[in-house]
Amino acid sequence: MSNRRKLASVPSRLSFPSVDVSRRGFLRGSAVLGGVSLLAACGGNDSGSSSSISTAKVDPEVAGGLNDIFGPGGKEGGAGVTLSAGMLLAITGQGSFFGKVMGNGAKLAAAQIKVADGINYDLHIADHKSGDVPTALTATRQLVTQDQIKILQTSYGAPSEAIVPLIGQNKLLSFNGGGSSPGQVGKPFLWQTRMIFGDDPCPGGLAWIAREFPDAKKLAIVGTQENGVAGASTIAPEAWKSLTGGEVVANEQHDVGATDFSSIVARIKSAAPDAILTFSFGDDAGYLVKQLREADVDVPVMGIEFTEQAAKVAGASYDTYNFCTDFYDPKNPNPWNKIFVDGHNDMFGEDPEYYGANYYEEVFFVWELARRVLADGGDPTDTTALQEALVANPTFKSLYGGDASATGEVTFNPDDHTISKPMGVFKVVGGQPEKVADIVKPEAGADPATALV
């Protein structure tokens, strides 16, 4: 008889606020905050003119804290310099929650930098309709031709891979903090601000399962074509065999935005795995976990992200979910993170989460690059100069890591344009994540057990 551990459902003790993620709600929020135009991204000419970011809800005392961390405002901080910046987000469709929080993160950063007497980060937001590639191409062209953007914050894997030629041709200094994928790695002017989504953390997640559930030998994998493709096809199977001597007994794929997992759950149940690794993201992960537990599939599940929206979908069953990723902790006491969390609550009335944190950081990366170029007597609106400054010094202050007396740090790899960030394995307890282990990306060819710190 197998003595693998069973997972008990624990009732959720938290309620989750409803979020208006409709197009109308987003537009209304943008109007209240001021400072962004929204492209319909349908191929028409309904791009609006961008106005300056509103600082009405930013505490003026933020300036002192940010200047202490990043340096003075004024001439050194780029006061008077305007950088036209675009965001390619999921404003409509099943991923509209992500578009909302990503946009909020960037808007807050732009407002705070303005209060700190820094650059004017002039935002224009376009909709790729939750991953539609033709729409993404049209929207990006509009951002370039109509809004003359120089900086781009993109999202999702497929749309971001599709616009790689436009990024290179137009020398758009670009960052993706929400859908890193192998097809974006090493591309000119495109930088990843999260670990490769699913691929990088999965050896650590599997190493944790192998340690905590030593009898587990049979693994089921559930994924999509949006992210974690290499993880599902090669990285996870090879790591699992090395860690346990076991095998992958099911490797299922679903469309992004799926809500009915009944067929996949039935096949997984028939395969009788000892553990499940899923690369599903967003609400999809919540639906998957809920339906697995409803079908009495009680083995450990390891995912690659957490959102409160997915936790709301899954309800109490999410207290049986684990995940491994470069996860953002709003409770992190590092001084910059405290400024971010307080500012987010002031502006939006709620704590920030993972994706908002990444897109907030990216705007500050651009500010830091502008400061470096100015210090060298260069043109801070020249994206080639900005990228050269990044390559010359690829380390930046971060919301991730650090402690009560110092910010964290992240470092880009100038060769492939990826990033190194703290990662961990987390359990969900009472609807909220709790870290149970630190993990790292193992070196090429190394024992995957080394991923577990």
- Higher per-residue confidence, 209 vs 4: 209
User: Is residue 21, in this structure, part of any structural domain at all?
Assistant: no
Tell me how many domains the chain contains: 2
Domain that holds residue 104: 34-195+331-420
Per DSSP, what are the bridge partners of residue 151? 85, 173
* Same-domain pairing of 446 and 308: yes
Give residue 260's pLDDT: 98
User: Is residue 2, in this structure, part of any structural domain at all?
Assistant: no
Give residue 421's pLDDT: 83
Q: 393: how many CB neighbours lie within 10 A of its CB?
A: 13
Angle, in degrees to the nearest 10, between helices 202-212 and 236-244: 30
| Backbone Cα Rg of the chain | 22
Question: E strands within 25-165?
Answer: 36-39, 82-89, 120-127, 151-154
Give residue 198's pLDDT: 87
Confidence of residue 30 (pLDDT cuts 50, 70, 90): very low
Residue 335 tokens read as 């001084």
Whole-number mean pLDDT of the chain? 88
Strand order in the sheet with 247-253: 247-253, 218-223, 275-278, 301-303, 321-325, 423-429, 432-439
Rounded to an integer, what distance in angstroms lies between the CA atom of residue 149 and that of residue 190?
Answer: 14
Give residue 254's pLDDT: 96
State percent of the chain over pLDDT 90. 77
Confidence of residue 99 (pLDDT cuts 50, 70, 90): very high
User: Is residue 10, in this structure, part of any structural domain at all?
Assistant: no
* Residue matched to tokens 């993990």: 439
User: Is residue 11, in this structure, part of any structural domain at all?
Assistant: no
Q: Rounded to 5 degrees, what angle do the CA atoms 152, 153, 155 make?
A: 130
Per DSSP, what are the bridge partners of residue 175? 153, 191
User: Is residue 209, in this structure, part of any structural domain at all?
Assistant: yes
Give residue 52's pLDDT: 56
Task: Answer positive or negative: Cα dihedral of 283, 289, 292, 293.
Answer: negative
Residue 233 tokens read as 């096809």
* Same-domain pairing of 415 and 429: no
CATH of the domain at 162: 3.40.50.2300
Rounded to an integer, what distance in angstroms lies between the CA atom of residue 9 and that of residue 12?
Answer: 9
Q: Taking Cα atoms as reference points, which of 443, 420, 400, 207 lies closest to residue 322?
A: 207
Largest CA distance in the chain: 71
* Same-domain pairing of 406 and 444: no
* Residue matched to tokens 């967003």: 282
- 234 phi, psi to nearest 5 deg: -130, -50
* Same-domain pairing of 93 and 142: yes
* Same-domain pairing of 415 and 437: no
- For residues 63 and 116, the answer to whether their CB atoms sit within 8 Å is yes
What is the mean predicted confidence (pLDDT) over 382-392? Answer: 98
Strand order in the sheet with 406-412: 395-403, 406-412, 419-420
What is the mean predicted confidence (pLDDT) over 227-238? Answer: 92
Q: Identify residue 77 by its one-letter amino acid code.
A: G
* Same-domain pairing of 246 and 270: yes
> Is the pLDDT at 152 greater than 60, yes or no?
yes
Alpha helices for 154-232 (secondary structure H): 157-162, 164-169, 202-212, 229-230
User: Is residue 25, in this structure, part of any structural domain at all?
Assistant: no
Rounded to an integer, what distance in angstroms lies between the CA atom of residue 229 and that of residue 245?
Answer: 22
Strand order in the sheet with 36-39: 36-39, 120-127, 82-89, 151-154, 173-176, 190-192
Rounded to an integer, what distance in angstroms lies between the CA atom of residue 102 and that of residue 130?
Answer: 13
Question: What pTM, to 2 d.p., does this model score?
Answer: 0.77
Residue 334 tokens read as 């590092």
